[in-house]
A and B are shown apart, each in its own frame.
Chain A
């Protein structure tokens, strides 16, 4: 991560120092945007997460890899409030206790998520999908009278271009192919302008070329946003360039640069294979 990037984050952190935080606002005083400590989750006795601890810095782009069933998706479930951990702490910034917030509250606080299985609004057009995701006041009363401003329209168009779905803008999203749905979901995430993006296998089903584009996109987002990307595609992880965390049986097995973890015999044993 470049120092310049670090500076912007740091300065935004300082900015928030200088004034009183409103309740629910993200506090990045210690540069940490996501803080998981000793998280455990079990299903009928099976420990999907086992004392998992992990911190993500603001602006960081982190890749998470690990065998099938290691608990990657479950971890995202915990962060987004879908699953409540049995034990452990999960904080967004310094102050926001994720284990006590509802999904919309968490989303509102600035965490966005792309699911492993693309989930979009199938009966809405591609355009409407993006419109709904857009960062704005999402309360009932506002939505009754909401109207797209020119600005907002432009933002939707920009995103459409970015995810290459301009031509499909008015089609129902349910008719998109699998890969197109993946893109749309990424687009929705961008519209949300979250501080922290959680991406569960974003390039599954994409061509190699699109995989590269996606990697570029994520790298460009890092800095202003923090990203946590789960993937099994090592060339993609390589292209992301950031730190890599390996999960195994619900806890961290290894952490470091891709090169480092790729040579870790345990990682090769349980994950990469020979």
Chain B
């Protein structure tokens, strides 16, 4: 009596979570479009193009954060190079967007401007087919997926772990960034791709297109959350967590950790890439700085702020950090780094398991209020830091 997969997918999320996702979907697919298109700009409830783009951008970041949490939170593999997959997804789709410009560029020819400028007479081979939407979608998945697969295959096979893995992912993104900086590489150098005009022939700046992209980002996030939840509650997820905690032990009971890690790693990279592909048309530019090491570290920071190993924490973290950034850079342009810095410090000190951890603690405290004897002081309920480190942080992760 096997339960069908769909049912299990459904069961992997608690009812409240489904409800929350439904509300989220309703807001993203109905309320916001309506408020953007139908309400007049003067209305207090009008959602501006700015807000839609901003939210769309953060939704993409949230997908990246969830992808990061899958590999970091659940498999204990801290990638400091996830930006490379995000950016490659963006570039893959950006190539299509560049081709859609057609002859509207400043040189008025079919070649992208930067190629004209480099005296290239025709498209380099790796641009072939980039005018096809489907091929672009294929590239979005295939290129980062393949890179992740090959990179992961070698790394996991060599049993590179912890910080060693983190550092080579950093080297990967850094090297790729430098490579893309070069004009000769064929992706527009430092300027990257920008000034997009159309997708599938439709004007990229039209409100409808904006909403479609926004809606797709929301859909991707929902899908990633459901998929992620299914994965981490499946046996696959449990094996992965076991690998995180005691890899050699897992080997001795007959699992091949390499394959498990590789599967999750590649999936995570592909999810990032999809987010990148949706991100680029919304923000209107992709350039190599997306692959800078600092950007990738920030992804980890979102997850940590929200709460690692919780999936939803990534979403929350991405929203908190990026909204804070958007707000502070305008309201306190000279001091916003202080706010952000103290936010990070505060979260680690006072919310060791991120925002989600705080929420859980608050919830756990309520039923626990009538403690067994009532005399137990709070200190004793605390995990003794010296003795048994909190499970989530004991051995795995960025440390050898």
The chain A residues found within 8 Å of chain B, CB to CB, are 80, 82, 102-104, 107-108, 112-113, 115, 119-124, 128, 131-133, 138-140, 143-147, 150, 172, 174, 188, 192
Q: Which 5 A-B pairs have the closest CB atoms?
A: A107-B254, A103-B251, A146-B235, A143-B236, A123-B391
If A123-B391, A143-B239, A145-B5 touch, does A188 touch B253 (CB 8 Å cutoff)? yes
Residue-wise interface mask of B (221-262) relative to A, using a CB-CB cutoff of 8 A (1 in contact, 0 not): 000000000010011101101100110111111111101100
A–B complex contacts, Cβ < 8 Å, 18 sampled: A102-B251, A103-B248, A103-B252, A104-B252, A104-B255, A107-B252, A119-B249, A120-B246, A120-B249, A121-B242, A123-B391, A132-B238, A132-B253, A138-B253, A143-B234, A146-B234, A147-B2, A147-B3
Q: Is the CB of B254 within 8 A of A138?
A: yes
In the complex, chain A residues whose CB is within 8 Å of the CB of B5 = 145
In the complex, chain A residues whose CB is within 8 Å of the CB of B253 = 107, 112, 132-133, 138, 188, 192
Residue-wise interface mask of B (1-28) relative to A, using a CB-CB cutoff of 8 A (1 in contact, 0 not): 1110100100000000000000000000
New contact pairs (9) apart from A123-B391, A140-B236, CB-CB < 8 Å: A82-B248, A104-B254, A107-B253, A121-B246, A121-B249, A122-B391, A138-B253, A145-B234, A192-B253
B: contact size bracket: 20 to 34
B388 within 8 A of partner (CB): yes
Number of CB contacts from chain A to chain B under 8 A: 92
Q: Complex formed: what's the CA distance from A192 to B253 in Å?
A: 7
B159 to chain A, nearest CB (A): 11
Q: Complex formed: what's the CA distance from A121 to B395 in Å?
A: 12
Q: Complex formed: what's the CA distance from A123 to B397 in Å?
A: 14
Residue on A with the closest CB to B258? A104
B178 within 8 A of partner (CB): no
Q: Complex formed: what's the CA distance from A82 to B249 in Å?
A: 11
Q: Complex formed: what's the CA distance from A146 to B8 in Å?
A: 11
Q: Complex formed: what's the CA distance from A138 to B263 in Å?
A: 14
B392 within 8 A of partner (CB): yes
Q: Complex formed: what's the CA distance from A144 to B237 in Å?
A: 8
Q: Is the CB of A123 within 8 A of B241?
A: yes
A184 to chain B, nearest CB (A): 12
B373 within 8 A of partner (CB): no
In the complex, chain A residues whose CB is within 8 Å of the CB of B394 = 122-123
Residue on A with the closest CB to B257? A104
Q: Complex formed: what's the CA distance from A102 to B159 in Å?
A: 13
Residue on B with the closest CB to A109? B254
B250 to chain A, nearest CB (A): 8
A238 to chain B, nearest CB (A): 29
Q: Complex formed: what's the CA distance from A80 to B263 in Å?
A: 26
If A124-B241, A132-B239 touch, does A107 touch B251 (CB 8 Å cutoff)? yes
In the complex, chain A residues whose CB is within 8 Å of the CB of B3 = 147
The listed residue with most A CB atoms (<10 A of its CB), out of B238, B250, B388, B391, is B238
Q: Complex formed: what's the CA distance from A133 to B8 in Å?
A: 23
Q: Is the CB of B238 within 8 A of A174?
A: no
Q: Complex formed: what's the CA distance from A150 to B1 in Å?
A: 9
In the complex, chain A residues whose CB is within 8 Å of the CB of B231 = 144
In the complex, chain B residues whose CB is within 8 Å of the CB of A192 = 253-254
A195 to chain B, nearest CB (A): 13
If A119-B246, A121-B242, A123-B241 touch, does A143 touch B235 (CB 8 Å cutoff)? yes
Q: Complex formed: what's the CA distance from A240 to B251 in Å?
A: 29
Q: Complex formed: what's the CA distance from A124 to B242 in Å?
A: 8
If A122-B394, A124-B241, A174-B388 touch, does A144 touch B236 (CB 8 Å cutoff)? yes
In the complex, chain B residues whose CB is within 8 Å of the CB of A113 = 252
In the complex, chain B residues whose CB is within 8 Å of the CB of A147 = 2-3, 8
In the complex, chain B residues whose CB is within 8 Å of the CB of A133 = 253
Residue on A with the closest CB to B395? A122
Q: Is the CB of A80 within 8 A of B235?
A: no
Q: Complex formed: what's the CA distance from A133 to B235 in Å?
A: 12
Q: Is the CB of B263 within 8 A of A174?
A: no
In the complex, chain A residues whose CB is within 8 Å of the CB of B2 = 147
B365 to chain A, nearest CB (A): 19
B241 to chain A, nearest CB (A): 6
A32 to chain B, nearest CB (A): 23
The listed residue with most A CB atoms (<10 A of its CB), out of B5, B241, B252, is B252
In the complex, chain A residues whose CB is within 8 Å of the CB of B248 = 82, 103
B70 to chain A, nearest CB (A): 14
In the complex, chain A residues whose CB is within 8 Å of the CB of B238 = 124, 128, 131-132
Q: Is the CB of A144 within 8 A of B234?
A: yes
In the complex, chain B residues whose CB is within 8 Å of the CB of A108 = 254
In the complex, chain A residues whose CB is within 8 Å of the CB of B260 = 140, 143
In the complex, chain A residues whose CB is within 8 Å of the CB of B239 = 132, 138, 143
In the complex, chain B residues whose CB is within 8 Å of the CB of A144 = 231, 234-236
In the complex, chain B residues whose CB is within 8 Å of the CB of A124 = 238, 241-242, 245
In the complex, chain A residues whose CB is within 8 Å of the CB of B254 = 104, 107-108, 138, 192
